Amino acid sequence: MDQIAPRRSRTSALTRSLQILDLLSDKLRPMTAYELAKESGAPPSTVYKLIDDMTDGAMLGRMPDGRVWLGPRLMRYGLAYRARMNAFQEAERAMHDLSERTGEMVQICTRDEGWMSVIGMAEGRGTFRVTSDVGTRVPLNWTASGRLLIGHLSDDERREVFARCATPSATGLAETDPDILARTSREAFLDGISVQIDTSEEAVACIAAPVRDADGACLMTLSVVMPKHRVPDRFDDIANEVRGAARSVELALGTHGAA
């Protein structure tokens, strides 16, 4: 009988290439080959070779000082992927409508493992700004959207995610207890609204609602990001607006009430 060859433990070139791309997207800045090798734990000779190959394929681009950054080919892939995401297109429409109605900043967020990622943003009226922009990732426990994004999971699954990924925020106000996070995540998901104030950035409030797929899982969130001093006077209106916007996306996708 033929024996099955053992799986090679050596890290593949594809895995190393993905590590390089992940590091650049996580750090949000160009990096040297030495930095990439040190951060990834890969041999420098391997990283130099991969950088040459990925640069030749336009997956990476070289800066004048020799550092490397994400290449133009990735933009083409990203745009092609996003163009097929009907859910994103519907959410983007709702995002702009919601921002126009409320005058506030609105974001579309999704889950990336233990992180919440901002994939769309509409600026509000006025001068209010936050540090998070499209492409920003923050731990799930820091934000209202982060809690909603795993609110559909089982009790054990939610607790496991938070036990593995919850970290203190810069403001020191983000909850890190997995049991509390698992409970409040589920409560917010069932209520259809989640609120966080001062946990990710000082004086910033986030009011988010889940967009559910056909199975009832949280596909993404719509969230209004605003100065916390406006919350007491506007909370009810904003909560109703963001809930309604999320439901409009679900209706357009045919998932509202499906699960």
Report which residue type is found at 111. Answer: R
Rg (CA), the chain: 21
* 150 vs 92: CA distance, rounded Å: 21
User: At 15, phi and psi to the nearest 5?
Assistant: -60, -40
| Residue 4 covered by a domain | no
Q: Are residues 72 and 116 in the same domain?
A: no
What is the per-residue pLDDT for 257?
55
What is the domain range of residue 66? 13-76
| Residue 3 covered by a domain | no
| Residue 240 covered by a domain | yes
Range with lowest mean pLDDT among 15-29, 76-90, 130-144, 227-241:
76-90
For the ranges 45-59, 181-195, 241-255, the one whose mean pLDDT is highest: 181-195
Count: domains in the chain = 2
Q: Which residue, of 44, 76, 108, is where some domain finishes?
A: 76
State both tokens at 199: 């946990």
Q: Does the pLDDT value for residue 242 go beyond 80?
A: yes
Q: Does the pLDDT value for residue 210 go beyond 50?
A: yes
Q: Are residues 129 and 89 in the same domain?
A: yes
What is the per-residue pLDDT for 10?
59
Let me know: does 166 contact 185? Beta carbons within 8 Å.
Answer: no
State both tokens at 14: 């594809």
What is the per-residue pLDDT for 256?
66
- Report the chain's mean pLDDT, rounded to a whole number: 89
* 130 vs 223: CA distance, rounded Å: 13
What is the per-residue pLDDT for 5?
45
CATH number of the domain at 242, please: 3.30.450.40
Q: Are residues 71 and 98 in the same domain?
A: no
Q: Are residues 65 and 123 in the same domain?
A: no
Q: What is the pLDDT of residues 70-116, one digit of tens each?
A: 998 988 887 776 655 678 889 999 999 999 999 999 999 999 889 99
* 92 vs 96: CA distance, rounded Å: 6
CATH number of the domain at 46, please: 1.10.10.10
Instruction: Work out the average pLDDT over 19-36.
Output: 91
| Residue 258 covered by a domain | no
What is the per-residue pLDDT for 84?
58
| Residue 220 covered by a domain | yes
Q: Are residues 103 and 220 in the same domain?
A: yes
Q: Are residues 227 and 111 in the same domain?
A: yes
Q: Are residues 107 and 231 in the same domain?
A: yes
Q: Are residues 72 and 100 in the same domain?
A: no
Q: Are residues 48 and 125 in the same domain?
A: no
pTM, two decimals, is 0.71
Q: Which residue, of 53, 76, 99, is where some domain finishes?
A: 76
Q: What is the pLDDT of residues 131-185, one digit of tens each?
A: 777 888 999 999 999 999 999 999 999 999 999 999 999 999 999 999 999 999 9
Q: Are residues 46 and 166 in the same domain?
A: no
Instruction: Work out the average pLDDT over 216-234.
Output: 94
Q: Does the pLDDT value for residue 9 go beyond 60?
A: no
Instruction: Work out the average pLDDT over 207-234.
Output: 94
What is the per-residue pLDDT for 117?
92
Q: Are residues 210 and 115 in the same domain?
A: yes
Q: Are residues 148 and 239 in the same domain?
A: yes
